Structure 1
Amino acid sequence: MNEVMTAMYERRTIRKYTDQEVSEETLRELFKIIESTQSWANSQCWEVVEVRDPELRKALQSTVPTKNPAYTAIVNAPVLLAMCARRGQSGTLGTSEMATKHGDWYMYDLGLATQNLCLAAHSLGLGTVVVGWFDPDKAEGIVNAPEGVEVVSLIPLGYRNQKGVAPKHKLVESFVHVDTF
């Protein structure tokens, strides 16, 4: 098995981190991975806000329900990434008209960028958790997102202080269909 496939099998959600700082060099390496991610017609609709300031992370934590298992990770990770998308760029044919019935593809493109980021972070010994259960409108105000930019997810990132556990997955036979459903 190659390194990419190994990372895909081994990457787990991590919510506990050491105090070790994540270097700017490491972050730039991760951001270069996002830069090279495929997107609809190369629209690259993503924007990333790197949040290190403890007060801003605390403010962003207030957007996350306390019942969310990642609640404490928001402030305990050395870095918090707000993964954002520019609306109306992805899924178009160079106009404001959406090309498919699915409309704006920003969630798809951000999913690709996020997965690449998380796999690359794992390969560098870092842990991540993708937080989607939060108040995006409130988070957009905290990170000062301009109009037309949405905060899609929050990603605490740091050196792992736990070993992730593999969840149960559906078996291939339960979701692959040949020729027809």
Structure 2
Amino acid sequence: MDLFEAIKNRRSIRRFNSQPVDDKTVQAVLEAAHWAPSWGNTQCWRFIVVRDAKVKQQVAATLFKIKVDIEWVENAAARAISQAPVLLVICAETGKAGFNTEGAPVTDKGDCWFMFDIALAVENLALAAHAVGLGTVIVGGFDAPAVARLLDVPDGYRVVTMTPLGFPDHKGQVSPRKSLTEVIYKEKYGK
């Protein structure tokens, strides 16, 4: 699959069929994530592969409800996590990305640079999954400390995001994009 085609055609998938995803395919998707660039090659990411239905249900229960009009409803990603055969939980080692080899910060972002590194890895993961016919949806609205406790994530690491992984049972919808003239400036902001 052409890279630009994958970038333009990947969609967030929140419903999956029951077809299992074999370990070899999961490994290939995670290998693509692992090849992402990172600050000083720190590779701060850690991936937890969850297949156990009970654990997936417990993780899904940590998702925040979302407000639709005037009422709060279940986040659609909660169903996706329970339904997908695999849940990938992505963690970051803190105190590495954005710091020099002596542990001193090198950026004004504090200990948040790991978010950039994780985002790069997760984008690779999502594109690789799409390339092999799998669907993903990047999940951010959840109780990360609760997930960390459920999955025994040690101190010094943070749960950053997660994505269900499986074969889509629907075709995702195209989200509208702003025109390039709205988001690209030349020489100075707004120009």
TM (norm. structure 1) is 0.97
Tell me the secondary structure at the aligned position of residue 85 of structure 1: strand
Which of 141, 152, 155 does residue 160 from structure 2 map onto?
152
Unaligned runs of 5+ in 1: none
Identity %: 36
Whether the 8 Å contact between 2:33 and 2:123 is mirrored in structure 1 is no
How many Å separate the matches in 2 of 1:64 and 1:95?
37
Q: Secondary structure at the match of 1:80?
A: strand
Task: Report the Cα offset of residue 103 of structure 1.
Answer: 2.1
Q: Give the Å deviation of 1:97.
A: 1.4
Structure 1 match to 2:25: 26
Task: List gaps (5 residues or longer) in structure 2.
Answer: 66-73
Tell me the residue number matched to 1:99.
Answer: 106
SS at match of 1:168: coil
Q: Which residue of 2 aligns with 1:76?
A: 83
Which residue in 2 is equivalent to 1:57? 56
TM-score, normalised to structure 2's length? 0.92
1:98 shift after superposition: 1.2
1:135-180 CA-to-partner distances (Å, cap 9, x unmatched) read 0010000010000111101100000111001111111100111011
Q: CA deviation at 1:31?
A: 1.5
**Aligned partners of 1:85, 1:95: CA distance in 2, in Å?**
19
Residue in 2 that maps onto 1:126: 134
Q: 1:171 aligns with which of 152, 155, 179?
A: 179
RMSD: 1.0
Q: Deviations over 1:9-42 (max 9, x none)?
A: 0000000111011001101111211221110110
